[in-house]
C-alpha cells in the first residue's frame, strides 16, 4: 500500500465517524505504549540479540536502541507526541 492508498483508506474511516477515528488512533498508541514497559523492552532486546546481524542493514544493538527510544517516547503523553510529529517530523511520501 502506498501513501495515496493509505490516505484514501484513512480518509474513508475518518469520514465514516471522526470521533471513533480519533479515539482509535489514541487507542492504537495507548496499546503500543503499554507494551513498552521495562520488562517488555528487555525481553525484546534479548530476542533481538539472539539474531545473526552479520548481513543486516542494522546491527542488533541499533535495533535495541530503537526499542529503548520508543519506550522513552512512550513516557510522553501520546497526544503531545502526535502534535510534535505533525509539526516537526517530515516524511517524504508520494
Q: What is the pLDDT along the chain (94 residues), one digit of tens a residue?
A: 888 999 999 999 999 999 999 999 989 998 999 889 889 999 999 999 999 999 999 999 999 999 999 999 999 998 899 999 999 999 888 7
With CA atoms as reference, report the closest residue to 68 among 31, 47, 37.
Answer: 37
State the Cα–Cα distance between residues 57 and 59, nearest whole angstrom: 7
State the Cα–Cα distance between residues 57 and 65, nearest whole angstrom: 14
pTM of the model: 0.79
37 and 70 Cβ atoms separated by less than 8 Å? no
Amino acid at each position: 500500500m502506498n501513501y495515496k492508498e493509505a490516505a484514501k483508506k484513512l480518509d474513508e474511516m475518518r469520514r465514516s465517524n471522526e470521533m471513533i477515528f480519533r479515539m482509535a488512533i489514541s487507542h492504537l498508541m495507548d496499546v503500543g505504549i503499554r507494551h513498552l514497559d521495562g520488562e517488555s523492552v528487555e525481553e525484546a532486546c534479548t530476542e533481538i540479540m539472539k539474531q545473526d546481524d552479520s548481513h543486516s542493514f542494522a546491527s542488533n544493538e541499533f535495533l535495541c536502541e530503537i526499542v529503548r527510544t520508543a519506550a522513552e517516547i512512550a513516557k510522553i503523553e501520546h497526544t503531545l507526541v502526535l502534535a510534535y510529529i505533525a509539526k516537526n517530523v517530515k516524511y517524504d511520501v508520494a
